[in-house]
Amino acid sequence: MYSFDKPMTIHEAPQFNIKSIAIIGAGPSGIASLYDLSRSKKDGTSLFGVTDISKNEEAGEMAFDEIVAFERNATVGGVWSKSAFGKNNKDPDLPLEVSNHNDDKQDQLVDTIRPDVIYKKFEIDQKLEDKLNSSSLEKPVSIPFDDKLKTYFQHQWRSSAAYEGLFTNVTNRYMRFSFHEKTDELKEVNTKYKYLPNLQFASDVGEYLEDAVKTNNLSKYIRFNTNVERVRKLDGKWEVVVSFVSEVDGVNYLNWYKQYFDAVIVGNGKTLPVVPYIKGLKEYSSNHKVKLAKSIQDPRFIKESNKILFIGASVSSIDLIQYCFPRDIDNPSVFISRRTPKAHLDWLTTAGYSKGIINKPTITKFENDEVHFADGTVEKGFDTVIIACGYHMYYPFLETQNHQWFEYTFSTDDPSLALVGNTYAGFFFNRVESQAAALSSVWSNNSKLPSKAEQLAIIENKPPLFTGNIKQYFIDPLMKYALKGRPHPFAVNPDKSDHVFHMVEGSLTIQGLFYKIRNGEVDPFNIT
């Protein structure tokens, strides 16, 4: 097994000539990538901590000539983007295709609709392809919106899954980048909300991310309202095709152009909902309120539902179930349909089986007003059905989804393609900046990767994402590559050293609040 303590081997390591980099997404992953890449100097050092690097750029000291982040929303933040969550969520209640394509095969009822069916890609026909060859940001190819384009646009799941009132489940000290720690404000943030000690609301996180971008002058690298449509390698360069919407004389146009880069970072996160194949769902949804958790703007309607069914029993479902209460827990009217007896975290399992909630197995079919379950039982009279089955790791702009990622970051087939974020390990902000720190150094040839064979061996021996010490297994190995002057994310704030305790502390806070809400001690719409 690979030891993280021994020096990195350098034989057969690729040498790069990377001067231009495209970043897909300007959420936490994209912001972290922008920061470290923009602070990378040719001499192998990092300008970590320097907010204004304009003089260094003018002097030609920086390792990369062009860095562009493509963000499809109007503001930074990803899931925390104020222009994309809550009342600004424009995603549909359900995908266009919700019915089981093969209803007679009962053994397929736990399958899910393929992500490439849920996500509606714009077609690049030959006519558009030819025009793209002479396109640019300044001279895009413009196509008027027709009904098909409008429908497909809506079903690209551009909004955030955060709803009004959503609060974090990770303690505040780990919702901070090391380059924007603001430790002097942390005590105030930790005590801001009575029932959320050490936690905060989605809106707070969005404001923090906007401040991090503004303070460090990162906006100049970001092209907003721009969606990446296709990424492919051609003649040693990455061709990136993007689109954006404009309006001229009351007519909406979809504008296209392409640009070439030496490297690409995939940092768009998980935005495509998992939707199960269930017989009769399409017909049932025409007469009942059926909604994806991804599409919820405000959860107040949940409280108003007399009888409600949640499909899925993990984080999204348990978070939303809180808004059902308080209600009569001796006569339960809240149901969970679960595929497995246990969730990935013990407290989620305990909460899901708590008094006032009825657990059911998977659903075999919807029929008229009835919901049929795999154990033969039938329930009817649901006001609301919420599908909360998680999210696909899906990249609609890539030609293939079957990449292996060394240290969850570098593509083993072509390490000029990288993934930042989009794993299920915790300490997200600090983890993604460790990925960015490694990319900055490796792509500027100041540190080297192991051979592909060694990378694959290390991947094979990696522990599952939900086990082990995240700092030791997922952050430390990447920081071994970092540029000189780039500190470990946990070193900037020594309070993060006891991260295992803090992780437990956050879980206890969330779990305790769940029961207070369920018991009627706290109003879920007024927990400040």
| Of the candidates 29, 26, 154, 152, the residue with the CA atom closest to the CA atom of residue 89 | 154
CB-based contacts of 500, cutoff 8 Å, min separation 6: 469
d(CA 369, CA 15): 62
Question: What DSSP element (H or E) covers 263?
Answer: strand 263-266
Identify the residue whose tokens are 């021994």. Answer: 6
Reported pTM: 0.93
CB-based contacts of 270, cutoff 8 Å, min separation 6: 390, 391, 392, 393, 394, 422
pLDDT at residue 3, as a whole number = 37
The burial of 479, by beta-carbon neighbours within 10 Å (0-12 exposed, 13-18 middle, 19 or more buried), is given as buried
The burial of 123, by beta-carbon neighbours within 10 Å (0-12 exposed, 13-18 middle, 19 or more buried), is given as exposed
| Of the candidates 253, 261, 257, the residue with the CA atom closest to the CA atom of residue 243 | 257
Q: Which CATH class is domain 17-83+120-155+213-272+392-510?
A: alpha beta
Q: What is the CB neighbour count within 10 angstroms for residue 517?
A: 21
Q: What is the CB neighbour count within 10 angstroms for residue 39?
A: 25
pLDDT at residue 238, as a whole number = 98
Longest pairwise C-alpha distance within the chain: 73
pLDDT at residue 110, as a whole number = 47
pLDDT at residue 187, as a whole number = 85
Distances (CA, A) of 283 to 243, 365, 366, 388, 504: 34, 11, 8, 19, 43
The gap between the terminal CA atoms of the chain, to the nearest Å, is 48
pLDDT at residue 103, as a whole number = 46
DSSP sequence for 215-270: HTT-GGGEETTEEEEEEEEETTEEEEEEEEEEEETTEEEEEEEEEEESEEEE----
d(CA 93, CA 286): 11
Q: 357 with 334: CB under 8 angstroms? A: yes
Residue spans per domain, the chain: 17-83+120-155+213-272+392-510
Query: What tokens were used for 177?
Result: 């980048």
pLDDT at residue 186, as a whole number = 85
Query: What tokens were used for 144?
Result: 């008027």
d(CA 257, CA 248): 18
Query: What tokens were used for 283?
Result: 């017909």
Q: 36 with 216: CB under 8 angstroms? A: no
Question: Residue 219 corresponds to which amino acid?
Answer: S
DSSP class of residue 504 equals H
Strands (E), 8-145: 20-24, 66-70, 141-144
pLDDT at residue 425, as a whole number = 62
Q: What is the mean pLDDT of each run of 10 residues along the chain (528 residues)?
A: 38 75 97 98 97 97 98 96 96 82 44 90 96 97 94 95 92 92 87 91 96 97 98 96 94 96 95 92 94 97 96 95 95 96 89 96 96 97 96 92 93 96 78 96 96 94 70 91 96 77 81 93 89
d(CA 8, CA 448): 8
d(CA 483, CA 447): 8
- How many helical (H) and strand (E) elements, i.e. helices and strands, does the chain have? 17, 21
3-state SS, residue 109:
coil
| Of the candidates 197, 302, 186, 299, the residue with the CA atom closest to the CA atom of residue 516 | 197
Question: Residue 479 corresponds to which amino acid?
Answer: M
Distance, CA of 121 to chain centre = 19
- Secondary structure string (H, E, C) spanning 12-47: CCCCCCCCEEEEECCCHHHHHHHHHHHCEECCCEEC
| Of the candidates 307, 353, 351, 348, the residue with the CA atom closest to the CA atom of residue 327 | 307
Q: 517 with 322: CB under 8 angstroms? A: yes
d(CA 97, CA 151): 13
Question: What DSSP element (H or E) covers 58?
Answer: helix 54-58
| Of the candidates 36, 156, 62, 108, the residue with the CA atom closest to the CA atom of residue 488 | 36
Q: 15 with 445: CB under 8 angstroms? A: yes
Phi, psi of 69 (to 5 degrees): -105, 125
3-state SS, residue 409:
coil
